[in-house]
């Protein structure tokens, strides 16, 4: 068995995060070996503990919370009270990274904005994540995945021309923003190693959503005229037959393959006039219309068996249940099962990278509210009597 991954061992991260982007970005850092302290309100009031998609809870524990809080310690702290803010500042003194994704202005009300904490710890890397950016005129608007998909153009580019806009069916902006957040922290740690000084890193969901559209947005910025197709084509900028096609028993996708190879595999005369070039953008809709009735005549598996030997890039469209049962998915070893002290057995996605020096595993189950308060406060120098008083006072 590989050793535990310790790329960020010795790095302390303070997580003032909520919803998905912030917690998931911090979880990447925790999986890399950082000591992550989650700061949350007392009394289990953290939003992500009290919401879960599909109303899915395991023995009362939110599966949404479990998805993005492994390998972290929890300190519940009332940041609205001066003593709570004082404890937070003591944490800042010994931290390497602070990550927050409150709406712009909230951390300033707690006395924990970049300008003030930089005077407490000049080596601190301070990461601000928000919906639109701290200088945006929309800074006070809620930053939520579906909303950002809408205003960034992302929801407008999928689906057929005769269908309404089609958002991505998962929180793709949140998760890409989380990866960018972790990337920003790693870059900032390298910069600090060079200069000895901390820095402020800003992540916005809007920029993450635009980055997801890197290719198509670049075409649009440089004059391309693109329109969605009423056919099976899956994008506005790929040549035919790039798209989703119904088969006798399901669906398959055809990707970027030279048309002569596809025409040879199908022995389809209607395709021959378009296969005089490897990739034919101008006739993309004609290509799709020629293929649609043909591909309905066989099963998905039969088409894959026929097309793959000809070098045609094709794949079946699988449901999650089918994907989880697929040998390729199992070989990826992407899921780890843990036993949570309350939720019981829980299956979680692993950290998505592999390193030769070790493997990211679940060192700590996602914590209960304030589970590590005594431990963390003790590290700050608080005596047991002081900690008992803070607990009795409802501050932690």
Annotated catalytic residues are: 238
Which DSSP string do the residues of 166-191 spell out, in sequence order? ---SS-HHHHHHHHHHHHHHHHHHHH
**380 and 90 Cβ atoms separated by less than 8 Å:** yes
Helix (H, G, I), strand (E, B) or coil at 80: coil
Q: Are 367 and 38 in contact (CB under 8 A)?
A: yes
How many other β-carbons are positioned within 10 Å of the β-carbon of residue 310?
16
Angle at 285 between CA 283 and CA 289, to 5 degrees: 120
* Residue entry with tokens 């991505």: 168
In a 3-state reduction of DSSP, which class is residue 12? strand
- Local structure of 100: helix, strand or coil: strand
Contact 217, 281 (CB under 8 A): no
Instruction: Give the whole-angstrom CA distance, residue 117 versus residue 301.
Output: 59
* Residue 231 CB neighbours (<10 A): 22
- 208-211 long-range contacts (CB < 8 A, ≥24 apart) are 208/21, 208/148, 208/173, 208/176, 208/177, 208/180, 209/148, 209/149, 209/152, 209/154, 209/173, 209/176, 210/152, 211/176, 211/180
Q: Taking the mean position of all CA atoms in its chain, how far away is CA 56?
A: 20
Contacts 24+ apart (CB under 8 A), 290-294: 291/232, 291/240, 291/241, 291/245, 291/254, 291/266, 292/231, 292/232, 292/245, 292/246, 294/266, 294/268
């Amino acid at each position: 068995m590989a050793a535990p991954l310790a790329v960020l061992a010795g790095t302390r991260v303070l997580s003032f995060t909520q919803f998905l982007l912030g917690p998931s970005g911090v979880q990447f850092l925790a999986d890399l070996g950082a000591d992550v302290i989650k700061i949350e309100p007392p009394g289990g009031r953290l939003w992500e503990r009290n919401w879960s998609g599909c109303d899915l809870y395991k023995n009362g524990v939110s599966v949404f919370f479990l998805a993005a809080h492994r390998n972290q310690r929890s300190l519940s702290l009332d940041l609205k009270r001066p003593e709570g803010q004082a404890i937070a500042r003591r944490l800042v003194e010994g931290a390497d990274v602070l990550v927050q994704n409150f709406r712009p202005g909230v951390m300033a009300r707690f006395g924990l904005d970049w300008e003030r904490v930089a005077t407490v710890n000049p080596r601190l890397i301070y990461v601000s994540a928000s919906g639109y950016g701290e200088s945006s005129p929309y800074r006070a608007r809620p930053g939520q995945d579906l909303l950002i998909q809408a205003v960034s153009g992302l929801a407008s580019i999928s689906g057929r021309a005769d269908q309404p806009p089609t958002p991505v069916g998962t929180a793709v902006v949140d998760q890409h923003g989380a990866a960018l957040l972790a990337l920003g922290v790693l870059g900032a740690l390298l910069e600090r190693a060079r200069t000895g000084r901390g820095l402020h890193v800003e992540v916005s969901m809007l920029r993450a959503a635009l980055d997801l559209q890197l290719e198509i947005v670049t075409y649009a910025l440089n004059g391309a005229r693109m329109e969605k197709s009423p056919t099976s084509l899956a994008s506005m900028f790929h040549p035919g037959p790039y798209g989703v096609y119904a088969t006798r028993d399901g669906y398959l996708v055809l990707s970027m393959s030279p048309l002569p190879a596809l025409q040879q595999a199908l022995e389809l005369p209607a395709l021959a006039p378009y296969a005089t070039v490897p990739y034919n953008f101008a006739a993309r809709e004609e290509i799709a219309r020629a293929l649609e009735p043909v591909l309905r005549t066989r099963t998905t598996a039969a088409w894959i068996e026929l097309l793959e030997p000809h070098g045609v890039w094709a794949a079946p469209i699988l449901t999650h249940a089918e994907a989880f049962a697929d040998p390729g998915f199992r070989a990826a070893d992407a899921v780890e099962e843990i036993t949570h002290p309350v939720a019981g057995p829980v299956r979680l996605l692993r950290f998505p990278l592999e390193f030769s020096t070790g493997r990211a595993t679940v060192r700590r189950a996602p914590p209960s509210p304030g589970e590590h308060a005594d431990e963390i406060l003790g590290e700050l120098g608080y005596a047991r009597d002081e900690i008992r008083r803070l607990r009795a006072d409802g501050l932690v």
